[in-house]
Amino acid sequence: MDIDISLSGIQKDSSFLDKEILSETREESQTESYSAAQVLDKLERAWMDEKMCPELLEHHMEFVDVMLEQLKELEVMISQATSKADIRVAAHLEEFAQLIASDPIEQTKLTDDELTFVTGFWSNIKTHLDESAGKNMPENVRKINMDKMMIKPEYYKYVFIKVEKPITGVTVSEPGGIEDEVVDFDEDDQQLLPYKTIQNLLMNGSVHLI
């Protein structure tokens, strides 16, 4: 399933983008005020990060819920999918279903609806494989090693980033025993780096994927 949604395509009408709205953030467990334009910007960045990232990121469904209440344009876009979870299905949920089903830490990145989808999806895959192996393979090779099938994030995949604020002392880690390099970044720098290098910077919002 492949859904290509560009949030930047939403018409940015100043009459509602200047309106102040509230969102309860997970990080601080408190209600904060944002303009609709700020929430839309957060959604655009979260969507791009998820699309370009080699691993599953934490959901930002609280911002989707806020925008669904405020923006009819966004509500129409979301309603074209089967559910809100479908926006992330194309990126990572199906690809990492086995990993998510077996890893409680990965499960914390999902909404309840997404977790329900992933566990059901992976259960169906296992049932299909077991039934297929039972019918079509010799008895001595019917046992499938599920661990060997697991798809895991490519942490050393190269990704493009944009730097949101000056950062000093970033250790660039390369695979294969290549010596690490320590570099500094200026605001608005664009770099091509191994994902492992900027993983924590992405999580704290210091950089975004492009």
Query: For residue 99, what are the contacts with CB-CB under 8 A and spacing of at least 6?
Result: 106, 150, 151, 152
- Residues facing residue 22 across a β-bridge: 33
Q: One-letter amino acid identity for 107?
A: Q
Distance of CA 176 to the CA centre of its chain: 27
- Residue 60: per-residue pLDDT: 77
- pTM value is 0.62
DSSP string covering 154-178: -TT-EEEEEESS-EEEEEE--STTP
Regions of the chain with pLDDT less than 70? 1-36, 67-91, 132-144, 177
Instruction: Please report how the helices 72-79 and 61-70 are oriented relative to each other, as an axis angle in degrees rounded to 10.
Output: 120
Dist. CA 147–CA 29, nearest whole Å: 37
Q: Which domains does the chain have, with CATH numbers?
A: 7-149 (1.20.58.1030), 158-209 (3.40.5.60)
Q: 121-159 pLDDT, tens per residue?
A: 899 888 877 776 666 666 666 666 778 788 899 998 999
- Residue 147: per-residue pLDDT: 80
- Residue 174: per-residue pLDDT: 79
How crowded is the C-beta side of 174, counted as CA atoms within 13 Å?
A: 8
- Residue 141: per-residue pLDDT: 60
